[in-house]
A and B are shown apart, each in its own frame.
Chain A
Amino acid sequence: MAWMLLALPCLTAALAFGLARRGSLAALVAVLGSATTLVLSVVALAGAPTGARGAPFAEGQGSGPGSTLGGIDLTLQLSLSTTSAFLVLVVVLVTLLVQTYSAWYLADDDRRGVFHASIALFAAAMLMVVLSADLVLTVVGWEVMGWCSYLLIGHWSRREAPRRAGHTAFIVTRIADIGLLLGVSVLIAGAGTSGRAEVIEHWTSAAADPGTRSVALVLVVIGVLGKSAQLPFHDWLLDAMEGPTPASALIHAATMVAAGTVVLAQLLPLLLRAEPARALLGLSVAATMVLAAICALVEPDLKRLLAWSTISQVGVMLAPLAAAGTGPTAGAALGHLYGHAIFKALLFLTIGWLAVTRGSTAAGALVGSGRSHPVALLAWAAGLVSLAGIPLVLGGLTKEHVIAAVGEDVGARGLVAHLVLGSLLVTVVLTAAYATRALIVVVLGGEQRVRARAVMPAAVSGILVVLAVASIVGGLALGGRLPDAGHVPLGLFVLVLALVLLGVAVGYALSHLGVQQRLVDGRAGRAVGAGLGVGTLQHLVVVRPVTALARLVAFLDREVIDTYVRAAAWGVLGAGDAGTTAHRRSRPASGLALLGGGLLAIAVITAIVLVGAS
């Protein structure tokens, strides 16, 4: 079943790619393929076994073609549990909606077939990460996802900016992946197998060296920070806004940035035993979620505002993994993954439509655009309500779970946990504030009445309505499918409600008093719009030195190593010439010299061999 779930999107991708020249046919195949996968994943969810406590991904029950690579056992297994099946369902649902949406969004694009195929492959890669019971397969899915993101972000490659954005995204995540590859290699090399169940068993046993384990997990966390766009790797996700909006929706919602959460949840037993790794993760997410939320507040472009929001929300998602106790950690993180996937997909798809009506994603251009269609208005509002975390709606529920999980006896878990909790609470306020800002700009702003009703295809409004409803009442689907996310005490509920209301008030006050506009237009807005200059910093710290080093190496190779070779070649040719000359003269002395030289050479070589032999 698990392999079927993987094979279907792969097949869809292959078919769509084969039909790429006939765009609408490829789109049809892509949509039908995703729909079939969705049906299959519902069936899978109904029949999936519940993972044992502590192993919600049911590593033990995998199936796959075993193989050996020298001394390493490659199990290459996929496994299906209620938890993984539920995540699969979320991924496939978002993929289906995105495929359908792209059929409209890219209707005039001459390369839409390739786009649909890339989306299908991208989803397959994410499914592989979710279903994998094997560390190598996890890496496979992880890297293929990165490659697809390169293709999707750079889809409009006739323009300079998308080319650069795709390039940056791949290189930045690939640099972070050095960590993941090494970390996974250490885990596999130690355990002698790539099966996750066995790896976890080996590294949690008494025989495992805690130091090595911590190092391996720190490396894995570095990889996760890269893919999840956390500090200091957040830059690529902002540049990625150059890609087509449906691709952004997929990257931001259920795949790519969320993959790190899944992988760490799968490796949770090891992560909980590696304090340095958790501390690193905690410091990064605590800083990222607050900083990104502040940036979202002053970002001049609404699509980039959503990107900042993703960076911040992924930090929230990772927070329980970094700082919660042993109980509700995975449940809280995966729950927020689900909630975020739904409302972020909704927001991106909505702004995609809005931007088409106004021809830009800049906040200034989108003022009042929400009023041009009731479905857009509803969708935008529902997404933002969920993002802001109003209690009882999906986003609010999952966010409360995260805070409850981190807050539960936080006193016993040291400084980093306190820091993460503090950041979470601050982020709640900031998130509500920027959500309010986004709502005000799109819905209330603009003096002139919007007269023209823009056209919205039925499929698009259907998609937006489905996601909007799920964003509000999606919490009902949580139930027992994900691991226990803990419970929210009444006091916390009230606290979060108060913070959200505070945030809404702040957001409203900022725009009402005009401070918002000054911030956005001022130096802060420009700095945030330029991604805080991290791109320049990366250029200075990484690109320039590496290029300089490369020039040095090329120089050394040309002028030093090659010199010996050239000298040897000249030497041989010169000796040949000398020999010819000597031969022509044919004097006894030169004959003697040749003979003597030859004998000498033979003697030297014989001596070397003899010395070696004795």
Chain B
Amino acid sequence: MIGLACVLPLLVGTVLLGGGTELSGRTATRAGVVGALATLVLLVIAWSTHAVVDVPWLPALGLRIHLGLDGISGPLAVLAAAVTAAACLTTWGERPRGGSRATFVGCLLITLAGAVATFAARDALLFVVAFELVLVPMWVLITRFGDERDPQARREAGARFVLYTGFGSTLMLLGVLLLVSSAGTADLRALGAARGDGLGTATQVTIAVLLTLGLAVKVPVWPLHSWLPLAHTTAPTAGSMLLAAVLLKMGTYGLVRLPLATVPDGFATIAPVLAVCGTVGIIWGGLVCLVERDLKRLIAWSSIAHMGFVALALATGSDTGVAAALYANIAHGVISALLFLVVGGLKHQWGDDDLRTPRAALREGAPVTGLLLLVGLAAGLGLPGLAGFWGEFAAVIAALSPAADRPDLLFVCCAVVAAVGAALAAAYSLRVARLVWLGEGHSADEDAPAAELPRTNLLAGGLLALAVLVLGVLPGLLLAVTDPALVEVVTR
């Protein structure tokens, strides 16, 4: 079942790619949505029945196809499938420019296949392979279907995305190889259960540094973040949604599964650095958001700030921290998908996304779009009752009581700074709300009132907003799922 869940989107994606211009756009969108939803159903069944696939793939290299979902990877895989379905849905009303729609949707589905395989992989090498698979369709999405105004910038963004994250992946590959060769197994569960037993301190630290550096590029953790704003500015709406809700999650998931679980002592040594970088990212991202001029870029920067909370929570190494990080991870996935959907749609509508141009108030002309934007912004600033609050509040609590082998004072300072960052989030979210939702500086009779996004986008956005609300009101649902699985990655 879990194997099928990985293969299905790959298959549908390949067919769509092969179909190219032969297929009509509508068929492509339908196939994409149905494919992603079917994957979602398969994932839920596989997850609830604990389905596992374990077959040798390349015995010479010791590479196995070993797939299975647990309480940590399950929610992420489901999120990826759901967001992909939403992203496919947006192509109905917002025709991709620069190529056929079938190619576009095919790339989305192949990204999903890679992401599901990444989350389900129980073999360290398979994890790396799946992790890399995602780069290719994403590169196509950025360079071929990106912002049509500036082909040069599109190419540069695509190149930088691939080079930068490819560089990170190389480091990660080195780390994984070193880990597998020194521990003697590539089974992630066995590695996690061993907790790095039998590895010397120096080895542990080297592995942890390589893995953390490599994955931090993907997360991204400050100061390795520069690829993200550029990629988001250029990527099409659906691409941005996947980038934020799926690709970044693979980075944080990797951090939990690899350095944190397999080399805890090594990770503990570098955790203070990660915590400081995460905290700097929170403030850095928040401050840039206060002066950023491009709306989509601003949301990308806010992602960096939110991922700072996740990095900080992971660095604490306590079970509270990991639970917080996982919650914040899922929450950010849903929230950023919602925000990019709305913001990308607006950019499409406006033709550009410069915030210095006064815009007609969404509240007046397009109340539904406005509501979706407002829900996204409120969740982004950590309003309780919406998804963003629990993970980030818990991250602060975790930083105030880190695991025993962490320097207390440093983490307390990080907690204080992170709390200040939460206020910055309010400042930039309200800045966007005032400019776009309330139409600051735009006189009512100047020109046409704001228009709603296409219906399909509103439907996808509405479902995401509902998910934001449910995750915010009933945190117990997700916590109950995650909690039993924590024992696999952290000492309780």
- Contacts A140-B385, A189-B401, A612-B202 given; indicate if A68 touches B164 (C-beta within 8 A): no
Interface residue? A613 (CB, 8 A):
yes
User: In the bound complex, what is the Cα–Cα distance between A553 and B282 (angstroms)?
Assistant: 12
Residues of chain B lying within 8 A (CB to CB) of residue A613: 178, 181-182, 203, 206
- What separation, in Å, do the CA atoms of A154 and B292 have in the docked complex? 24
B265, CB-defined interface residue at 8 Å: no
Known contacts A140-B384, A163-B438, A561-B223; A612 and B178 CB within 8 A of each other: yes
B327 to chain A, nearest CB (A): 8
Q: Nearest-CB distance from B337 to chain A (Å)?
A: 22
Contacting B at CB under 8 A, from A562-610, are 562, 565, 568-569, 572-573, 605, 609
For chain B, the count of residues having a C-beta within 8 Å of the partner chain is: 71
A157 at the interface (CB under 8 A from B): yes
| A549-B287 CB under 8 A given contacts A177-B423, A178-B420 | yes
Of B319, B361, B363, B383, which is within 8 A of A71 by CB? B319
* Cα–Cα distance between A106 and B413 once the two chains are bound (Å): 48
**CA–CA, A139 to B422, complex, Å?**
14
Query: Would A181 and B284 count as touching, CB distance under 8 A?
Result: no
Could you say which of B320, B327, B400, B438 contacts A154, with CB atoms under 8 Å apart? Answer: B438
The answer to whether the Cβ of B407 comes within 8 Å of any Cβ in the partner chain is no
Interface residues in B353-390 by Cβ distance below 8 A to A read 361, 363-364, 378, 382-385, 389-390
Kindly list chain A residues whose C-beta atoms are within 8 Å of the C-beta of B284: 553, 557
Whether A181 contacts B202 by the Cβ 8 Å rule is no
- Bound Cα distance from A494 to B227, whole angstroms: 74
Q: A181-B419, A185-B396, A553-B287 are contacts. A69–B324 as well, Cβ < 8 Å?
A: yes
Q: Note all chain B residues with C-beta closer than 8 A to A167.
A: 430, 434
**Is B452 an interface residue, CB under 8 A from the partner?**
no
- Size category of the A interface is 35 or more
- A147 and B383 contact, Cβ closer than 8 Å, known pairs A67-B475, A70-B398, A170-B430: yes
Q: Scan residues 145-180 of chain A and give those whose CB is less than 8 A from a CB of chain B.
A: 147, 150, 154, 157-158, 160, 163, 167, 170-171, 174-175, 177-178
Report whether B291 and A565 are in contact in the complex, using a CB–CB cutoff of 8 Å.
no
B93 at interface, CB cutoff 8 A: no
Q: Which of A72, A178, A547, A572 contacts B291 (CB 8 A)?
A: A547
Is there a chain B Cβ closer than 8 Å to A356's Cβ? no
Q: Which residue of B lies closest to A179 (CB)?
A: B419
Cα A74 to Cα B389 in complex, Å, equals: 14
Considering the chains assembled together, what is the distance between the CA atoms of A609 and B203 in angstroms?
9
The 8 Å CB contact of A70, one of B159, B163, B164, B318, is B318
B172-214: contact bitstring with A at CB < 8 Å (1 yes, 0 no)?
A: 0010011001100000000000000000001101110010000
Interface majority SS on A: helix, strand, loop or mixed? helix
Is B148 engaged at the interface, CB distance under 8 Å to the other chain? Answer: no
Bound-state CA distance A188–B398 (Å) is 10
Q: Is the CB of A182 within 8 A of B419?
A: yes
* Residue B450 is within 8 A (CB to CB) of chain A in the complex: no
CB pair B287 A69 closer than 8 Å: no
Picked from B382, B397, B419, B480, the residue with its CB within 8 Å of the CB of A67 is B480
User: B290 contacts A550, CB within 8 Å?
Assistant: yes
Cα distance A572–B480 when bound, in Å? 47
With beta carbons under 8 angstroms apart, the residue of A181, A569, A605 that contacts B393 is A181
- Measured between alpha carbons, how far is A57 from B195 in the docked complex, in Å? 46
**Can you list 20 A-B pairs with a CB-CB distance of less than 8 A?**
A69-B323, A69-B324, A69-B475, A69-B479, A70-B321, A70-B323, A70-B398, A72-B320, A76-B476, A140-B385, A143-B383, A163-B440, A171-B427, A178-B420, A189-B397, A547-B290, A550-B288, A553-B287, A565-B226, A609-B177
